[in-house]
Copies of this chain bind each other. A is one copy, B any other.
Amino acid sequence: MLKIDYTNVMAELIGEKDGILFQEFEEYKFIVEEIHEKIQRERENSFYFTQLPYQDTKEIKAIAKEIRENFDYFVVIGIGGSALGNQMLQEAINGFNYNNFEFPKFYIMDNVDPEKFGNILDLIDVKKTMFNVITKSGSTVETMANFAIIYTTLKELLGENYKNHFIFTTDPEKGFLRKFGQKEGIKTLDIPPQVGGRFSVLTAVGLLSAAVCNIDIDSLLEGAKSADKICSENSNVLENPAYLIGLIHYIVSQKKGKSISVMMPYFERLSSFVDWYRQLWAESLGKEGFGQTPLKAIGSIDQHSQIQLFREGPKDKIITFIKVENSLRDFKIPSDIPDDISYLSGYTLKEILDIELLGTRAALTKSKVPNLTITIDELNPYNLGMLIYIYELATGFTGYLYKINPFDQPAVEEGKNFAYGLMGRKGYEDKLKEFENLDKEKYTLKVE
């Protein structure tokens, strides 16, 4: 079950300056229908992620079973869309104590920070580790750098047997990793060519590590499937959760000056869901001067950090609260506590958490900050699958409202090219020259 309460984005509650008039939804009726038709036509290409719920998971589950039986550690080497989804599934379903009590222990090498890389090496035994190298392009610098070190280490330790400690996940045809996997006979899983990194969590990219960590990936896809059915059958924004989220954010960003989209779950297991959303929303929509900056906040922690700004700072935000009705465990405040805090007696921590959400939401509504609340009954694979699908579709849909391509990321290349130039990679000599013209150090202040 998933419910979207969008009462507090409406002008009725917070006024026309910050809120949406009901008739504004109507005004977009034809545009939305057009986009809906377009999306239906593109289900096999740009919107291929809509097909993912219907995939056969037998192979992934079989591989996962073998890994569970033969390895104590499972390490993903990937970054961005090849890491954020993995982290999100793991935290959302298995929580924060998994590695303290379960096997195979699961780590993600998602940076070239040498201390982080070293920290993970300190916690694993590479001889008992399966490394899943994930990169759509097959050549991501950070991923290749980590891979190169692990590859050499394993080869030194195990000779040709090193191959049994790698599984690659990459484009079915293109890129170095595919080529190398074929040449060396290393097991390699496909990322469908139509699916970009940030939309790939429900491919082998996210599903393998989830299955290795015993997450019910069929139920995850089942949830995505339910969302797909509802969304592909309804072009009416009031009945389509993805379009509703998309249109609300589009209207407030274009007409009400809300340039920042805050996502604030009151449930810490959703922390990495927000990181995943940050990439999806930022990289898909941030182009041609458009886009909304996604901002992470966690309830109730950030009440004590960000709410002052949200209420009385610039009126540039829309907030999405996420509430989970049932937690896996709970703790009751006893009755035998000092008088001054006895008003807490009888409440559970979860009840207090929910009350904090209600209080904060009312305070924001009072300050005319548009906010919506997504409620799920439980944070289980099914509901997570729905959430993932809805946000992916909302992102694609919103891109079409902005009339931009939500599936590319042209501005990411430049920094990579400068980096290649600096590394002396062949073919990037011009970039090095351009870099040198851009990289001046003229104004500095130094203190000891």
Let me know if B448 and A307 touch, CB within 8 A.
no
* Contact code string A384-412 (vs B, CB < 8 Å = 1, else 0): 00100000000000000000000001111
Cα(A445)–Cα(B374), bound, Å:
9
Given contacts A289-B315, A352-B112, are A331 and B440 in contact (CB under 8 A)? Answer: no
Min Cβ gap A101→B in Å is 8
Let me know if B359 and A422 touch, CB within 8 A.
yes
Given contacts A7-B442, A116-B96, A305-B80, are A359 and B176 in contact (CB under 8 A)? Answer: no
Let me know if B340 and A179 touch, CB within 8 A.
yes
Which residue of chain B has its CB nearest to the CB of A301? Answer: B111
Given contacts A5-B443, A309-B286, A334-B152, are A343 and B424 in contact (CB under 8 A)? Answer: yes
Could you give 14 example pairs across A and B, Cβ below 8 Å? Answer: A2-B447, A81-B304, A100-B123, A278-B306, A279-B306, A291-B312, A343-B423, A358-B435, A359-B418, A359-B419, A360-B418, A362-B439, A365-B439, A366-B438
Given contacts A112-B356, A295-B295, A341-B139, are A438 and B362 in contact (CB under 8 A)? Answer: yes
A195 within 8 A of B: no
A21 within 8 A of B: no
Given contacts A144-B341, A352-B112, are A445 and B358 in contact (CB under 8 A)? Answer: no
Contact residues in B for A331 (Cβ distance below 8 Å): 114, 117-118, 149
For the residues of A in contact with B, the DSSP-based class is: helix
Q: A5-B443, A145-B347, A293-B295 are in contact. List 17 more A-B contacts (CB 8 A).
A: A6-B443, A145-B349, A145-B352, A148-B333, A149-B334, A152-B336, A180-B338, A230-B447, A278-B306, A293-B293, A293-B314, A343-B426, A358-B439, A360-B419, A362-B418, A362-B434, A367-B411
Cα(A408)–Cα(B255), bound, Å:
32
A33 within 8 A of B: no
Contact residues in B for A420 (Cβ distance below 8 Å): 343, 359
Which among B260, B411, B422 is the interface contact of A358 at CB below 8 angstroms?
B422
* Contact code string A283-317 (vs B, CB < 8 Å = 1, else 0): 10111111101011010110111111111111111
A76 within 8 A of B: no
Min Cβ gap A219→B in Å is 14
A67 within 8 A of B: no
A23 within 8 A of B: no
Copies of this protein in the complex:
2
A3 within 8 A of B: yes
Which residue of chain B has its CB nearest to the CB of A444? Answer: B5
A55 within 8 A of B: no
Contact residues in B for A144 (Cβ distance below 8 Å): 341, 344
Cα(A399)–Cα(B317), bound, Å:
21
Cα(A71)–Cα(B425), bound, Å:
54
Min Cβ gap A302→B in Å is 8
A355 within 8 A of B: yes
Cα(A422)–Cα(B363), bound, Å:
13
Let me know if B288 and A312 touch, CB within 8 A.
yes
Contact residues in B for A275 (Cβ distance below 8 Å): 305
Which stretch (A57-65, A207-215, A322-330) binds chain B?
A322-330
A268 within 8 A of B: yes
Let me know if B314 and A290 touch, CB within 8 A.
yes
Let me know if B117 and A349 touch, CB within 8 A.
yes
Let me know if A312 and B410 touch, CB within 8 A.
yes
Given contacts A303-B415, A415-B307, are A355 and B422 in contact (CB under 8 A)? Answer: yes
A66 within 8 A of B: no
Let me know if B303 and A316 touch, CB within 8 A.
no
A75 within 8 A of B: no
Let me know if B330 and A114 touch, CB within 8 A.
yes
Contact residues in B for A278 (Cβ distance below 8 Å): 305-306
A163 within 8 A of B: no
Cα(A314)–Cα(B402), bound, Å:
13
A241 within 8 A of B: yes
Min Cβ gap A109→B in Å is 10
Cα(A144)–Cα(B347), bound, Å:
12
Let me know if A447 and B241 touch, CB within 8 A.
yes
A187 within 8 A of B: no
